Structure formats: structure tokens, C-alpha cells
Amino acid sequence: MISKTHTLEVAVALRNLFAMGCLLVAQGQREQGLKLCNDVVRTLDETGHKTYLDQLFAALGREPIRIARSVGPSRELLDILSSPAVGSH
């Protein structure tokens, strides 16, 4: 959804922001993390994809690190998400 309509720089920033939101959820800061993820969704204005987004947010609650990795964040953020301390959440 991100890469279709945004420049490379904006797409990377949105992916990183969403992944950071997932990381916050994994670290127990659910409200703050969901706020970041919702900010990305609102920026994309993907309201027509309600079923997909509902499934994404449901999975985010169960597997935030997997979801964070799947959105394609930058290499630096992937390194953080792959660290043993984070991966155990």
C-alpha cells in the first residue's frame, strides 16, 4: 500500500514509523504503538481496505515483531527487530 503513491523517502519513513509502532506494542507500550501505526494508516488514507487493516491490527496485537518485519523497514530497524532481546517478545 505504501509504495504505490509515495516517493521512496516517504515510503521508507512510513514503513519505519509503522514498524516503530509495532516495536512499542511489543515492549508493552500498546497505546503509544497503536497511535503510531494509526498515524501511518491515516496518512495513507486506506479506509477502503478495512478488512485488511482489521486483520493487520488483530495480528499486530498477537505478533507485533513479525508484523514490524513484514512492512519492510530500513536495515537499521530490521537489525533492532532481529536482536534477541526484542525477538523474545
Read off the pLDDT of residues 39-60 as tens digits, 9 standing for 90 and up.
998 888 766 677 888 888 899 9
What's residue 47's pLDDT?
60
What's residue 24's pLDDT?
96
Separation of alpha carbons 25 and 30, rounded Å = 4
What is the full DSSP assignment across 2-58? -TTTS-HHHHHHHHHHHHHHHHHHHTT-HHHHHHHHHHHHHHHT-GGGHHHHHHHHH
- The domains of the chain are located at 8-87
Read off the pLDDT of residues 1-47 as tens digits, 9 standing for 90 and up.
565 667 888 889 999 999 999 999 999 999 999 999 999 988 887 66
3-state secondary structure of 69: helix
What's residue 84's pLDDT?
81
